[in-house]
Amino acid sequence: MSKERLIQLLKENDIVKFGDFTLSSGKKSKYYIDMKKAITNPIILKTIAILISNDFKNLQIDKIAGPALGAVPIATAISLESNTPLLMIRKEKKGYGTSKLIEGELNPGDNVIVVEDVTTTGGSLLKAIKAIEENGGNVISSYVVVDRKEGALYEFRKNNVHLKPLLQISDFLS
């Protein structure tokens, strides 16, 4: 598996769309990355899982984490590919049941990889990382499938967190 193969799959499946779009933030954009379509495709999802799993295979990792909703299928696929237990990070604690923010067993000192589907400024991924750290986990690295190049890498450097994009939007603009 290679970055080039992932780009090819995303292009063949019309994951990056060009036109006039309004993003969830309300911001206008000339392109839209339909990662929900990508992560529901088993070939694309497996490719992402293999690429990320191969990248950290020499590290001592105890858990794979993904914030809800888009990153959970990615984290699950990586968990299966690497045989590493899964954590799911809720957007907020629920007022019922166990009221957990983190689903899965996070032990103090666990080394964690956190994944996300798309980053713009990186805010939601940083929030998930903070939740893991506040609950005793050590975030070793974070991955994103596509970085929109709108400030996430800068924010991560500023917060001393390693972020590794598999792809950047510039991979689709040429």
pLDDT top residue among 124 and 132: 132
CATH of residue 161: 3.40.50.2020
Range of the domain at 168: 3-173
What span, in angstroms and rounded, lies between the C-alpha atoms of 138 and 114?
10
Q: Binding site annotation covers 98?
A: no
Q: Binding site annotation covers 119?
A: yes
What span, in angstroms and rounded, lies between the C-alpha atoms of 57 and 82?
8
Q: Binding site annotation covers 157?
A: no
Q: Binding site annotation covers 121?
A: yes
Q: Binding site annotation covers 5?
A: no
Counted domains in the chain: 1
Structural contact between residues 35 and 9, judged by C-beta atoms closer than 8 angstroms: no
What distance, in Å, lies between the first and last C-alpha atoms of the chain? Answer: 22
What span, in angstroms and rounded, lies between the C-alpha atoms of 115 and 36?
14
Can you read off the two tokens belonging to residue 50? 């293999």
Angle separating helix axes 71-82 and 42-56, nearest 10 degrees:
60
Q: Binding site annotation covers 148?
A: yes
The predicted pLDDT at position 159 comes to: 87
**Per-residue pLDDT band at 75 (split at 50, 70, 90):** very high
**pTM of the full predicted structure?**
0.91
The predicted pLDDT at position 32 comes to: 93
Beta bridge partners of 65: 87, 114
Mean pLDDT of the chain: 91
The predicted pLDDT at position 60 comes to: 95
> Taking residues 54-65, what's their average pLDDT?
96
**Per-residue pLDDT band at 97 (split at 50, 70, 90):** very low
